Structure 1
């Protein structure tokens, strides 16, 4: 009997030892505490908004946030935060969250870089995480300045450019718009022209051709003799091509080639024209 009892105990011990503990995310539930830790570590945040009644949120918990590879990826790159939609209304207002689930990715100061709204599987979320910047030092530097002076032109413009370089085109334009509203954005023609060009290409990069047309036409009206005119004409031609306005697209692309035949813009215009023939 003693032998059987000992064997039973050993089997139980081996059974427990053989079960590796499932990895899980160590969620912060306070944004303030998460920001303090994020700034100390210079890490970005993954802020997950959820509610007890949210069925897709429960699916995320069961099938997404339990995925070992995803847990490892999030833990390595971000500090994860969970915000209760019903109990933390100030945070819901701060980030203007209207649908669940919503995941907001921020720098170490809580400045939004990107958000995903709706149900996403583990692979989809892993792809998003992989695409987002890991080093948020420059974002943090701009955020610190803007906390003290929300209308600082250099920080607004710099944040817009940094977001664009990270392929975060929509938030990039949000900062460019703010930069244009400052005194420097209104009164410095060179800076204003540069911002409008980047805004136009941001719209093209997200296939928002109608807004791209508006921005490039605005640029050409304000700066008809700018050295960036061939780039604006190229963007305008490309935007019209996306809207299926082929005649307008051809007109502006030919304008680039005719007026600036040796430019990089003209070379690109020729390639686009070939595809429209």
Structure 2
């Protein structure tokens, strides 16, 4: 059985790491490089950097941040999302050290460009980000740039089903930052049950994580806000879940002297 993953998420806005609540309220945390380095030494299986204001401002990816992260000497695979507009941006993001990338705005704006960057980088390098909500018995797809909701389009589903992306990051934007808030219907009622899913948003409790990981189409849990409340949070979550499905806790040897700092 393939082990499932626990992904640490760092949300960046205006150059600073922030706690995000429902995609509309933010609390500053400080230097994103510090949080990223902590997730690396705590043993996250992957680190997702989501720079949430690049696409809204029609900016390119934050290459300054990626360059700074590249100097940290991370041993953890890095996922980047934010401002990816075309194949050139995607290639440059990988060149700056990201192992994979997340596309969100492009799914609304130009699915053909998603095809092109997948052809260039390979489907394994591409993750589709879908902020969803479950209201009135229906799934709604959220565009964070315009703060509007819409029905998931047939064209989008056909694009995902075509195999040009490796995984879907399903974010419960409505309950983001709310303890134990992730809505299971976002996964259970998603039209494509054969596509690997990363669950994110309001995921905070080990019991909740363990239940989500039992679903065959969930391959990873992503946690953001709740990793900031205690030291070694990744390790403590993994120990509490104690499941054969999730990768074992791994302490980075190069940081072993800092474990109790």
TM-score, length-scaled by structure 1: 0.26
Which structure: greater strand fraction? 2
Structure number, greater radius of gyration:
1
Higher relative contact order, structure no. (Cα contacts within 8 Å, ≥ 6 residues apart): 2
Which structure: greater helix fraction? 1
